[in-house]
Amino acid sequence: MKALVYRGLNTIKLEDKPKPEIQDPTDAIVKIKYTTICGSDLHILAGHVPTCKEGTTIGHEGMGTIDSIGDGVKSFKVGDKALISAISACSTCSNCKRGMLSHCDKAGWILGHTIDGTQAEYVRIRLADSSLHKVPDGIDEKAIVMLSDIVPTGYEVGVLAGQVKPGSTVAVVGVGPVGLGATLTAKLLSPSLLIAIDKDPARLEAAKKMGATHAIDSSKEDPEKIVKELTGGLGCDCVIEAVGVPATFELCQNLIAFGGTIANIGVHGAPAKLALDKLWGYNIAITMGFVNTTSTETLTRMFQAGTLKLDDMITHEYNLQKEGEQAYATFGAAAKHKALKMIINTEA
């Protein structure tokens, strides 16, 4: 089978690999129909994820059909359609029982990281019962891939951790795919203000389409000044960081209202300043962490009901076998190509 394989710094290769086989009774082999590339995959290529070894098939998002199962898999049978969760989990260890699936003793973020991932024709899913979700009939099978990772991440780590409520004033700093996932799902909770901040006009346009009430181009405008104007000088109840560099985390601290929550989603590679001398008396909270994917089933129901619209997130489609490497080239230059998420199909 064909697979997109990490081959060291900035190198991704489309290679032939053996089809994966069942190794443990709780495994399932999924024949991938649609997968996608994530910002985390680019972090791997950039060498920021040393736990991912050369030769690993990349990818932790996708959907497909169950090709085979181990004897211990109870909730899926061969032929079922399944959505793959970015987080694999056992559901029985102490961390899983506390809802911390991302810190599962036996798994967590392993796919396309410490074991072969989804950017291939087939993938082995460990702990399949609790790492896969049923795909309802008649659903858009490309759009549902947005629920493998980016939308649950925006919702759980941004919106829910950020305590967004009806009437909240919300700012999302960085509206790439995960920031857009936060924008889409914040909108479901009826905020009174939903302000998107980014330097990329195409992303700001997408954020407005997905429900942002205001868009601030931080390459041309001063976000702090505009947020203060829009909130009558208060700042925002919830500020979501979805970039992962010191400057944007520091900006969040200048946008937060008394009593608010800064919800950091960004994956940071360097320390950032925390203005404790200013913020100690603000009665605020700062949250951060990995997605646990405990919201996936809820979000799937909302998608099925039509209250959550996901297809605007997809801007490009490529074929794995013919254009897998091209997909990376486009996603790597996302601003130039106005790329948000790209579907990679495996149609022969």
What is the binding site for Zn ion (CB under 5 A)?
38, 40, 89-90, 93, 96, 104, 149
Compute the least distance from the CB of residue 290 to Zn ion, in Å. Answer: 11
Q: Residue-wise over 32-66: b if at least 16 C-beta within 10 A, else e?
A: bbbbbbbbbbbebbeeebeebeeebbbbbbbbbeb
User: Closest-CB residue for Zn ion?
Assistant: 38
Q: How far is the CB of 85 from Zn ion (least distance, A)?
A: 11
Q: Which residue lies nearer to Zn ion by CB, 6 or 237?
A: 6
Residue 96 or 120: which CB sits closer to Zn ion?
Answer: 96
Which of residues 182 and 236 has its CB atom nearest to Zn ion in the complex? 182
Burial state string for 258-295 with b = 16 or more CB within 10 A and e = fewer than 16? eebbbbbbbbeeeebeeeeeebeebebebbeebbbbbb
**3-state helix/strand/coil string of 325-344:** HHHHHHHHCHHHHCCCEEEE
Instruction: Give min distance, CB of 219 to Zn ion, in A.
Output: 26
Q: How far is the CB of 41 from Zn ion (least distance, A)?
A: 7
Shortest distance in whole angstroms from residue 89 CB to Zn ion: 5
Q: Least separation, in Å, of the C-beta of 153 and Zn ion?
A: 7
E strands, the chain, in order: 2-6, 12-16, 28-36, 62-69, 81-84, 122-125, 132-134, 169-173, 193-198, 214-217, 236-241, 256-264, 285-288, 314-319, 341-345
Q: By C-beta, is 146 or 215 nearer to Zn ion?
A: 146
What 8-state DSSP symbol labels residue 88?
B
The strand pair at 341-345 and 28-36 is best described as antiparallel
Residue count of the chain, please give it: 348
For residue 348, the tally of other CB atoms under 10 A from its CB is 9
Rounded to whole angstroms, the Cα distance separating 42 from 101 reads 23
By C-beta, is 123 or 284 nearer to Zn ion?
A: 123
* Minimum CB distance to Zn ion, residue 60 (Å): 5
Measured from the CB atom, the residue of 42 and 245 that comes closer to Zn ion is 42
Nearer to Zn ion, 168 or 295 (CB): 295
CB of 293 to Zn ion, least distance (A): 11
Q: What sign does the CA torsion over 264, 270, 273, 276 have?
A: positive
Q: Which two tokens stand for residue 75?
A: 């909730």
Residue with tokens 């959550």: 308
> Helix, strand, or coil here: 260?
strand
User: Least separation, in Å, of the C-beta of 256 and Zn ion?
Assistant: 27
- Residue among 69, 244, 33 nearest 153 (CA): 244
Identity of the residue, 230 or 308, whose beta carbon is nearer to Zn ion in the bound complex: 308
Instruction: Return the number of the residue (149 or 198) whose C-beta is nearest Zn ion.
Output: 149
Tokens 């399932």, residue? 28
